[in-house]
Structure 1
Amino acid sequence: MEKNRYILKNDTPSCHLLHVCCAPDLVISYLAGARGDVFFYNPNIHPRSEYEKRYKEVLRVAEFFEMNVVEVPYDPETFFEKTKGLESEPEGRKRCEICIRMRLEKTLEFAKENGYRSFSTTLTASPKKSVEMINNAGINVSRYNLVQYIPNVYRRSPLYNLSQKLIKQLGIYRQNYCGCVFSVRNEDKEKGEEIR
């Protein structure tokens, strides 16, 4: 298995690890006060070309904000393993809960191994996700650990509208589905398009 490595913009890693799901959410979260090293662990994103496009945009935004990035190997098999049998679940239910928890568990694992004191996620910047589900998952995975999860609601920042302008101004890629192949299928169903 590939090792994680830092892409350092600053001299040293920070004490907070920020799980990042996409570049637009990183902009929103940063303007709302989120700081730390960027941890782009998203094995749910499908296909690989989409994953690489989103990762490239995250690198661009992290460089703009002068943030360190932890390079994490792409590992879609883990997502498919953990969500087996839940392919037909509607968005926002059990499959999504498992996916969010999986990503936060990996963030915590890396944080513990590398001396971070806390972690959080930009997932709460999305208006389509349950903040309660995300923060409960973070609190639960970090229970009994020295690395603390910091609950947040980045989308409630007074700078939310400014972040939308900055995203547009920088020409940041905005995806039209959550990330997994099942969310693509759900989008297609809602639009009445043929499922891939």
Structure 2
Amino acid sequence: MKNCHLLHVCCAPDLAISYLSGARGDIFFYNPNIHPKAEYEKRYAEVIKIAALFKMNVLKVPYNPDLFFKLTKGLQNEPEGGTRCEICIRMRLEKTMEYAKENGYKSVSTTLTASPKKNVAMIVKIGKELEKKYGVEFLPNVYRKSPLYNDAQKLIRKMGIYRQNYCGCIFSIRNSVIVATQETKTVKSGVEV
């Protein structure tokens, strides 16, 4: 059935686990939060590889980081998972829902729920609010709970798929560097991480 389901995709590793867990539909790679542009292009290229393997259609979506920076202005020092992240997730899901409504899709889900670092309750809450606004069903699939999670990780390694070490925005780069530095210091001091 054409235009049945629209799958918001954040990255190739999360697409792999989501697909193996049953996710289908057209891929909507809308992630203006990813910075710098070279990182965005790298993640997009990896999504194309996984999509080709699974024979999934990837929709062309413009990269617009200015919107992310406008919406999160003044929130640079927010902790990961805080207000800035909530705004970012809402921005991405809202654009997905808007596109779904305009193009006749019946439902939407997101691979954001595959990440063990994301707040699934927050994602589902936002999705359900947007469901009411746009009249497109939001499917709250929690892909990371799949028994095929380890199979997806093996597939990613076998294909040589790039695994990013930060969520995507410039602020999460800073936080991942801080965490990596703290972990290195802890290991060097002989304390288990």
Q: Aligned residues, how many?
A: 182
CA offset digits 1:46-86 (Å, max 9, x no partner): 00000000000001111110001111010000000000111
User: Are 2:43 and 1:54 equivalent residues in the alignment?
Assistant: yes
**Structure-1 separation of matches of 2:133 and 2:126:** 14
**Structure-2 separation of matches of 1:125 and 1:161:** 12
* Structure 1 match to 2:163: 174
Contact kept, 8 Å, 1:13 with 1:37, in 2: the verdict is no
**Structure-2 separation of matches of 1:37 and 1:171:** 23
Long gaps (5+) in structure 2:
183-193
Q: CA deviation at 1:191?
A: 3.2
Of 8, 15, 21 in structure 1, the residue corresponding to residue 10 of structure 2 is 21
CA offset digits 1:81-137 (Å, max 9, x no partner): 000111100000100000000000000000011000000100000011111111111
Contact kept, 8 Å, 1:120 with 1:151, in 2: the verdict is yes
Contact kept, 8 Å, 1:118 with 1:148, in 2: the verdict is yes
Of 39, 44, 54 in structure 2, the residue corresponding to residue 65 of structure 1 is 54
Aligned positions of 1:26-45 closer than 5 A: 26-45=15-34
Aligned residues: percent identity? 66
Long gaps (5+) in structure 1:
1-11
TM-score by length of 1: 0.90
User: Are 2:61 and 1:84 equivalent residues in the alignment?
Assistant: no
Contact kept, 8 Å, 1:16 with 1:35, in 2: the verdict is yes
Alignment-mate amino acid for residue 50 of structure 2: V
Structure number with bigger Rg: 2
Alignment-mate amino acid for residue 108 of structure 1: M
Q: CA deviation at 1:13?
A: 4.4
CA offset digits 1:16-63 (Å, max 9, x no partner): 000000000000000000000000000000000000000000011111
**Structure-2 separation of matches of 1:36 and 1:42:** 18
Of 91, 101, 109 in structure 2, the residue corresponding to residue 112 of structure 1 is 101
CA offset digits 1:128-160 (Å, max 9, x no partner): 111111111111111143211111110000111
With 129-138 and 40-49 compared, the bigger mean Cα shift is at: 129-138
Aligned positions of 1:93-104 closer than 5 A: 93-104=82-93
Alignment-mate amino acid for residue 167 of structure 1: I
Give secondary structure in 1 for the equivalent of 2:7: strand
